[in-house]
Amino acid sequence: MNFIAGLRSAWKKNDSLLCVGLDPDPERFPASLCERPEAILEFCTAIVDATADLVCAFKPQIAHFAARRAEGALEALIRHIHAAHPGIPVILDAKRGDIGSTARQYAIEAFGRYDADAVTVNPYLGFDAVEPFLAWEGRGVAILCRTSNPGGSEMQFLDVGGEPLYLHLARRVATGWNRGGQCALVVGATYPAEIAAVRAVVGGMPLLVPGVGAQGGDIEATVRAGRSADGTGLVINSSRAILYAGSGEDYAQAARAAALRTREAINRWRRGAPGGMPRA
Amino acid sequence: MNFIAGLRSAWKKNDSLLCVGLDPDPERFPASLCERPEAILEFCTAIVDATADLVCAFKPQIAHFAARRAEGALEALIRHIHAAHPGIPVILDAKRGDIGSTARQYAIEAFGRYDADAVTVNPYLGFDAVEPFLAWEGRGVAILCRTSNPGGSEMQFLDVGGEPLYLHLARRVATGWNRGGQCALVVGATYPAEIAAVRAVVGGMPLLVPGVGAQGGDIEATVRAGRSADGTGLVINSSRAILYAGSGEDYAQAARAAALRTREAINRWRRGAPGGMPRA
């Protein structure tokens, strides 16, 4: 799969800009699952199967697996998504970043070992640290631009020649790093004005937007600020608000209901110019 | 072990500022090892045992393990270092960085699962993304400041209020982030003038300096620029130049010889004010 093309198809096929983030936390699993040796894989698989027709992507967060020695579950989960739901891209949220020779190893981890369609990458080491990921033809690289945490401003809002660092970076990615058309940018939903500022400089480039749901980002403001001219361009991630919508044995159905509601809430605001009316 | 205290003891006990980086690359292993199922662990253990009395720290680079599904070898390697060479700190080079709830999982990965004494962290997400690592009392956090790759300047040299971003960051770490005295900074050996600029703003804070050896950093310039008032303050990393000093069955002895030479080359320049004479 070509990541960007796959994303465009999934936006259309599932009429969805919603990405479900897979951040397994066994303490929040239903009691019956907790005692099972493959609880993490079973939980994530059930969520995936319950929501795959409602999303444009899945985004497993690797730390939640690594902290629990569950790399095997992550491999099996991504294999399952590719086999059971072909056409839905998998974005491995790993926020890797290192100098060239080591970045090549991280690219093997993300694309070779886990077979992700895209990976999140940290830009602090510059373009030559991103290049080894781009060397994997067709794979996507979602570069951290403006993160959704309160302290993100400390670095990302530093003034660089009259504009904040995150916007300077967005411009560099749009005009240089994205030569091969494989890049996306990560821009948190907690700052809609900044999503709009990024959209204004990157054209139609996909924006991966974490922070709706548990982190409090506003869906209307996010979609109005970030939608591209054709009403797509966004990969709006929700993790905890969907994964843990229910805490009982019906957790997968509860997750599906939450995903349905979130997709609809997003779709209400996809059409029209910024500030336009919601679609009927 | 308290990381900073452990580092100070190891500097003294082994009369060494040298850190051996453990970046296993099976393609460069001696032929006899390659066919063995635990080649990565055997290779790294042999290097560790051959050099432990010559170093102030070991720095395993996690991507080299993760790309090869060798997390188990990394766990076993760190366990071995703690058991066989107590007092030598282990810095897990992982360059992690994420918002709080996820950073907590990365901290569990580094400190809980792998039992590293310190971990390298990326500063792009700001202080609240570093805090979950600092919450592990006594563990060290080595924050990327000025990296050794050619493209690092692209971000790190951006002008921020009259000084480059990396120096602005060094100042923030020294005056704010390092409240608990757990921080170190990563500053590449390829830019000695910048090591000196960082040293000038951070007082005695340890600097982890990759880039000597295979990456071409100059030892004299690095030590003169970065040594603290008492002739310590540096953790000078060499990986490939030591690991692959030999390619035959005597690779561990070759690594020891290379480590000895590097330690001596470093120690020649530890004493005296910047620009002073080498010690006799």
In 3D space, the residue among A230, A189, A255, A250 whose CA is nearest the CA of residue A52 turns out to be A255
| In a domain? residue A114 | yes
Selected residues 62-81 of chain B with any CB under 8 Å from a CB in chain A: 63-64, 66-67, 69, 71
Half-sphere exposure at residue B20, Cβ-oriented, CA atoms within 13 angstroms? 31
B74 — pLDDT class (breaks 50, 70, 90): very high
Q: Which domain holds residue B179?
A: 3-267
Does residue B114 sit at the A interface (CB-CB below 8 Å)?
Answer: no
What residues have CB less than 8 Å from B62, skipping those under 6 apart? Answer: B74, B92, B93, B94
Is B106 close to A161, i.e. CB distance below 8 A? no
pLDDT score of A277: 46
Minimum CA–CA partner of B74 in chain A: A69
Q: What would the DSSP string read from start to end of chain B?
A: --HHHHHHHHHHHTT--EEEEE---GGGS-HHHHTSTTHHHHHHHHHHHHHGGG-SEEEEBHHHHHTTT-HHHHHHHHHHHHHHSTT--BEEEEEE---HHHHHHHHIIIIIIS--SEEEE--TT-GGGTHHHHTSTT-EEEEEEE-SSGGGHHHHT-EETTEEHHHHHHHHIIIIITTTS-EEEEE-TT-HHHHHHHHHHHTT--EEE--BGGG-B-HHHHHHHH--TTS--EEEEE-HHHHTS--STTHHHHHHHHHHHHHHHHHTTSSSSTT-PPP-
Whether residue B275 is predicted with pLDDT greater than 60 in this model: the reply is: no
Does residue B163 sit at the A interface (CB-CB below 8 Å)?
Answer: no
pLDDT score of B272: 64
Structurally, how many domains does chain B consist of? 1
Provide the CATH number for the domain around residue A235.
3.20.20.70
Mean pLDDT of B135-157: 95
Looking at the whole model, is its pTM more than 0.90?
yes
Percent of chain B residues topping a pLDDT of 70: 96
In 3D space, the residue among A66, A67, A62, A63 whose CA is nearest the CA of residue A78 turns out to be A62
Other beta carbons less than 10 A from residue A170's beta carbon:
26
pLDDT score of B277: 46
Which residues of chain A are under the pLDDT cut of 70?
214-216, 272-280
Minimum CA–CA partner of A106 in chain B: B63
| In a domain? residue B277 | no
User: Nearest Cβ partner of A158 from B67, B144, B165?
Assistant: B165
pLDDT score of B94: 98
* Structure tokens that stand for B259 in this block: 């480590």
Secondary structure letter of residue A152 according to DSSP: G
What is the nearest CA distance from A101 to chain B, expressed in angstroms?
10
In 3D space, the residue among A5, A226, A2, A274 whose CA is nearest the CA of residue A136 turns out to be A2
Structure confidence by residue, pLDDT tens digits, B43-72: 999 999 999 999 999 999 999 999 999 999
Q: Which of B75, B78, B122, B145 to mutate to test the interface with A (most CBs of A within 10 A)?
A: B122
Q: Considering only CB atoms, which chain B residues are within 8 Å of A165? A: 158, 160, 165
| In a domain? residue B276 | no
User: Could you list the active site residues of A?
Assistant: 95
pLDDT score of B189: 87
pLDDT score of A271: 80
CA–CA distances in Å: residue B257 to residues A235, B35, B242:
53, 26, 8
pLDDT score of A34: 82
pLDDT score of A276: 43
pLDDT score of B212: 87
pLDDT score of A73: 98
What ipTM is given for this predicted complex? 0.95
Whether residue B278 is predicted with pLDDT greater than 80 in this model: the reply is: no
pLDDT score of A249: 93
**Residue pair A132/A159 in contact by the 8 Å Cβ criterion:** no
